[in-house]
Each structure stands twice: as C-alpha cells, then as structure tokens.
Amino acid sequence: MDNLHTAAATDKSNTEFPPLKKIPYHIGIIMDGNGRWAKRRGLPRTMGHRAGAENLRTVIESAVDFGVKILTIYAFSTENWKRPKREIKGLMGLFHYYFDHELGELAKNGVQLRHLGHMNGMSPSIQKKITRAVEKTAENNRLILNVAFNYGGRAEIVHAIQRIVAENIPPEAITEELVSRYLYTAGQPDPDLIIRTSGEVRTSNFLTWQGAYAEYYITPVLWPDFNKAELYKALQSFNQRKRRFGGLIDEEELEES
C-alpha cells in the first residue's frame, strides 16, 4: 500500500521550508550517535543520551509541522541490554524522567503514545509508566508516536508466530495480512521512510517486517544534532525516490517527474 498523502507540507510554522509534494505518512527513526556526540565533547555517554532525549521534542514537533502522521522511534533494543550496567541505568533514568516531564506536553499537543516491544524484562515502574502513558493519550490523533522500547524486529515476529500457533490458526489462513495483525504495529500502515542518523548503514533489527518496502535515508548527522532542517532534507530525499514496491514505476508518476 502506498501511504503517501499530499496534505500540504506547509503551514504557518513551516514558511522557511518550501512545500513538498509527498509527505511520508509513517516515518521510523533509528536515533544513533548519542555516544559519539558526547565523546566529541569530552562528556560521558549518558550526557549524549540526555541530549538525544531533549532532541526528541524538536523532531516530534517538526514531524507534526510537516504533516507526518506516525513516528516510530527506536529508543531501546532487546540488544541494548548488552551495554554496560551504568549506561543502562542512565538510560532507564532518562526514560523515567521523560515520561514524568514530557508526557504532559506530548498529550497536550495531541500525541498518541504507543509502545512497541516486550513488557517482560522491564522494571515494573517503567511498565506502569508506559501503560499509563498509552492509556492517557489513547484518544489523541495528531500524531501516533510509537516508542520501540525493549524492541527487536525478530523477537516481534517470533512473538507473533507464538500467538498465531497458540490460537490454532490453520496454516492456509496465515497470510502476510494476518501476520501484520499480530505485530506490535497492528492496524498501522508500514513505514514509508526509515531514517538512521550517525552514518551507520544497518537496519539493526528495527521494523524488520514492516520496513520491507520502506525507503531508507542515512545521514552522518548525529542524533542530538538532527533538527528540523535535517528532517526536511530527509523528506526532500524521499521526494526524489521512485517507489516501486517490486512492480514498475507508475507511468503517470514518470511523466510528472
């Protein structure tokens, strides 16, 4: 499914950015480079994560301004548990702080928060905060913010298979659509664009199923420096792509370009 919509990419707050023809409905972001950002400044890695968390507000607001409807952020992967205890503790502290201090503002701005990932393995207090945040913002509809936390793309698929088997669904009824309904993103369209900051060219177990036909945008900019102008560059790059979904380019689209 092509989820592009041509809703005006400009409003009052966007006057410095020329309008774009297509705005991705759903964007995923691998927020990488916090550690290097801190290192370049002679700071501990935790300070990089803090700067990264602060930057989230800018990017969320920018995404809303540009007309994006779903933003999925990779906050903590199932593999991140391998990091030093001290760094994990710092990150968990940051998540607590974020839920305590940013949620009100997000909710006020019409952001609906959803969680992608396993609850098991997280501390009961984080679980409670996530559950409360999801409930509190459930009616909001300006932007869906999927927070991938304790998330792994392969684990998500395994979890879906386990549920499908547990429900005794016959093999012939197992289609791609059915599997999609058992993922954390059930009911949401797949991402159109996946952005990775800090220059690494890997997918890192992020939206493994959903990202099958996403366009990728890799930038050397480190996550704490990825601002509205950088997001606009990603959108510009997206506008230059000819999406084919395995088929042929639409003739009309070719004529227009």
Minimum CB distance to ligand FPP smaller for 9 or for 71? 71
Minimum CB distance to ligand FPP smaller for 133 or for 160? 133
Asked whether position 96 contacts ligand FPP by CB under 6 A, the answer is: no
- As measured in angstroms, the least distance from the Cβ of 12 to ligand FPP is 28
> Catalytic residue at 190?
no
Asked whether position 75 contacts ligand FPP by CB under 6 A, the answer is: yes
Give first-to-last CA distance, the chain, whole Å.
Answer: 21
Instruction: Give the Cα separation of 245 and 1 in Å (integer).
Output: 9
Strands of 215-218's sheet in order across: 111-116, 143-151, 70-77, 26-30, 193-196, 215-218
Stretch that binds ligand FPP, among 93-101, 204-212, 229-237, 241-249 (CB under 6 A): 93-101
Per this entry, what is the length of the chain? 257
Q: What is the largest CA-CA distance in the chain?
A: 57
Asked whether position 80 contacts ligand FPP by CB under 6 A, the answer is: yes
Tokens of residue 229, six digits:
């102008």
Marked catalytic residue, from 32, 65, 190, 192:
32
Minimum CB distance to ligand FPP smaller for 49 or for 114? 49
Marked catalytic residue, from 3, 80, 109, 239:
80
- As measured in angstroms, the least distance from the Cβ of 197 to ligand FPP is 9
> Catalytic residue at 32?
yes
Query: Across 31-124, where does the E strand assignment appear?
Result: 70-77, 111-116
- As measured in angstroms, the least distance from the Cβ of 147 to ligand FPP is 6
Give 143's strand partners: 111
Tokens of residue 209, six digits:
């199923």
- Residue 124's φ and ψ, nearest 5 degrees, are -60, -35
Asked whether position 117 contacts ligand FPP by CB under 6 A, the answer is: no
Give the residue nearest to ligand FPP (CB). Answer: 35
Q: Which residue type sits at 49?
A: H
| Residue 149: half-sphere exposure toward Cβ, Cα within 13 Å | 23
Give, as ranges, the residues between 174 and 203 that touch ligand FPP (CB under 6 A).
198
Other C-beta atoms closer than 10 Å to the C-beta of 169 total: 13
Give, as ranges, the residues between 14 and 73 that touch ligand FPP (CB under 6 A).
31-36, 49, 52-53, 56
Asked whether position 127 contacts ligand FPP by CB under 6 A, the answer is: no
Instruction: Give the Cα separation of 170 and 90 in Å (integer).
Output: 45
- As measured in angstroms, the least distance from the Cβ of 180 to ligand FPP is 25
> Do residues 118 and 88 make contact, with C-beta atoms less than 8 angstroms apart?
no
Helix H or strand E segment including 240: helix 228-240
| Site map 143..162 versus ligand FPP, x via CB under 6 A | ----x---------------
List residues with catalytic annotation: 32, 80
Positions touching ligand FPP (CB under 6 A) are 31-36, 49, 52-53, 56, 75, 80, 94-95, 98, 147, 198, 223
